[in-house]
Structure 1
Amino acid sequence: MEREKIAILFSGGLESTALIKYYKNKDITLIYLFFGYVWEDAEFFHAKKIASKYKLTIDTFDLSKIINTIQLGNVKNLKENIIPLRNLSLLTLSSLFIYNKNIYKLAIGIQGNLEYPDTSKRYIKNIEKLISIGLSKSDFQIEVPFYGKKKEEIIKEYSLPLELIFSCTNPINYKRCHTCYKCKKLDYLIKKYS
């Protein structure tokens, strides 16, 4: 029997890595989109290591030269890391990509942090509805299985390779800076759960 297909927006961060384990019984396609942000090369470098650990590869979609997104640099806090239309861009462009592969389910590891303007369930459901209409695929779904969960809960529920997880807004030579707000949170979690 053929396994159900699902695509995962994959960054090598905690939530997207947990999605691999969450969907372990499905036929998984990992997707990474390049927009031109300063952390992407380092993030993708580490994402490939995690994908390899699970015997998966990552399909990439490079929009950095087409969109010409202004790069965020030296991000110090969450507010500075709010990227206009981030999830709308990720979800719609990924949907086009996976549609050509006959995949009609897309997972994203958002937790519903309402400090970001584009992570509410209503926002995601509206995107799902519009993509379904645009693709003429009424069965197209965007799944957010970790919505409402804390990072600590996700770590406890899934045995994750915390030493490989990468989350940093200002990487230095492909390594985490350990000073940005994302690194501080990840360092705390690694120390607590390793």
Structure 2
Amino acid sequence: MKAVSILSGGLDSTVATMIAKEEYDEVTAITFNYGQKAFKREVSAAKKICEILGIKHVIINLEFVKLFNKGSLITDEELPKIKIEELNTEKAFETMKAVWVPARNLIFLSIASGFAEAYEMDRVIIGINKEEGQTFPDNRIEFIEAFNNALKYGTLKDIKVEAPLYDKSKEEIVKIGHELEKKYGEVLRYTYSCYKDNGKDFLHCGECESCMRRKRAFMLAKVEDKTEYLTN
């Protein structure tokens, strides 16, 4: 069986792609350019990860998403900062709303499903997880189940979306990735989680919500965090 994996270059999508590499005969990774601030760094990470895993990599441009002009990931609005102790509070809902890009995962899954149908693939892999599902509604298994139901009518091939990490915390995701590194070598240090472009590949700001979740995950997993942060 063949799979296409949505790979942003971040922890979740990378570990999901590693799992797909284990389970499918052929994996192709897709990185979307939707006008996000960190695209240049995300694509560098994705290319490096695909090189390590020995899988194909495709970039798909979605310039129209910038027309939505909403969310600090794709606009000139300042990205919110958050403290580790605020990640499971109302503050996290505020930061979620600030970075929300309308229908982003819905768009990603639709295009990836079309790609899968066009290239005779069987599965679409996405790295949604339990932790971010607490604030992001499109990171929940209910979203995947609903989308799979739509796929029954939206494609002529039996394509399904799989979310191997939907019930996992970031801590668990780091542990899974670290275990898979025993086979593939260092991968996690080349992932890119930051919402910003800090002028250098793999350099994280250390202040945005995504960086904070990354820091906490490595700390709780008791796995050495080799990430370079501007702010510790």
The interval holding the TM-score normalised by the smaller chain is: 0.7 to 0.9
Structure 1 Cα separation of the partners of residues 134 and 59 of structure 2? 28
Aligned to 1:95: 113
Aligned to 1:10: 7
Q: State the identity %.
A: 26
Letter of the structure 2 residue corresponding to residue 157 of structure 1: I
Letter of the structure 1 residue corresponding to residue 116 of structure 2: I
Pair 1:115 & 2:114 matched: no
The alpha-carbon deviation at position 87 of structure 1 amounts to: 1.1
Pair 1:132 & 2:152 matched: yes
Aligned to 1:75: 79
Whose helix proportion is higher, 1 or 2? 2
Letter of the structure 2 residue corresponding to residue 149 of structure 1: K
Aligned to 2:210: 182
Partner secondary structure for residue 157 of structure 1: helix
Aligned to 1:142: 161
Letter of the structure 2 residue corresponding to residue 102 of structure 1: E
Alignment of 1:50-69 (within 5 A): 50-64=49-63, 68-69=67-68
| Aligned-pair Cα RMSD in Å | 1.9
Q: TM-score, normalised by structure 1?
A: 0.88
Aligned to 1:193: 223
The alpha-carbon deviation at position 7 of structure 1 amounts to: 0.9
Letter of the structure 1 residue corresponding to residue 56 of structure 2: T
Structure 2 Cα separation of the partners of residues 47 and 34 of structure 1? 12
- Number of aligned residue pairs: give it: 190
Higher mean C-alpha displacement, 14-23 vs 28-37: 14-23
Q: TM-score, normalised by structure 2?
A: 0.75
Gaps of 5+ in 2: 81-94, 182-186, 225-232
Q: Provide, for residues 35-59 of structure 1, a one-character-per-residue CA deviation record: whole Å limited to 9, x for no partner.
A: 1111112111111111111122311
- Tell whether the 8 Å contact from 1:36 to 1:68 is kept in structure 2 after alignment: no
Q: Residues 120 and 20 of structure 1: is their aligned pair in 2 closer, same or farther, counting only changes over 3 Å?
A: closer
The alpha-carbon deviation at position 79 of structure 1 amounts to: 2.8
Structure 2 Cα separation of the partners of residues 65 and 126 of structure 1? 25
Letter of the structure 2 residue corresponding to residue 15 of structure 1: D
Gaps of 5+ in 1: none
The alpha-carbon deviation at position 118 of structure 1 amounts to: 1.8
Q: Residues 63 and 117 of structure 1: is their aligned pair in 2 closer, same or farther, counting only changes over 3 Å?
A: same
Structure 1 Cα separation of the partners of residues 214 and 13 of structure 2? 14
- Tell whether the 8 Å contact from 2:29 to 2:57 is kept in structure 1 after alignment: yes
Partner secondary structure for residue 16 of structure 1: helix
Higher mean C-alpha displacement, 168-177 vs 89-98: 168-177
The alpha-carbon deviation at position 185 of structure 1 amounts to: 2.3
Aligned to 1:85: 103
Structure 2 Cα separation of the partners of residues 66 and 33 of structure 1? 11
Aligned to 1:22: 19
Aligned to 2:84: none
Higher mean C-alpha displacement, 143-152 vs 111-120: 111-120
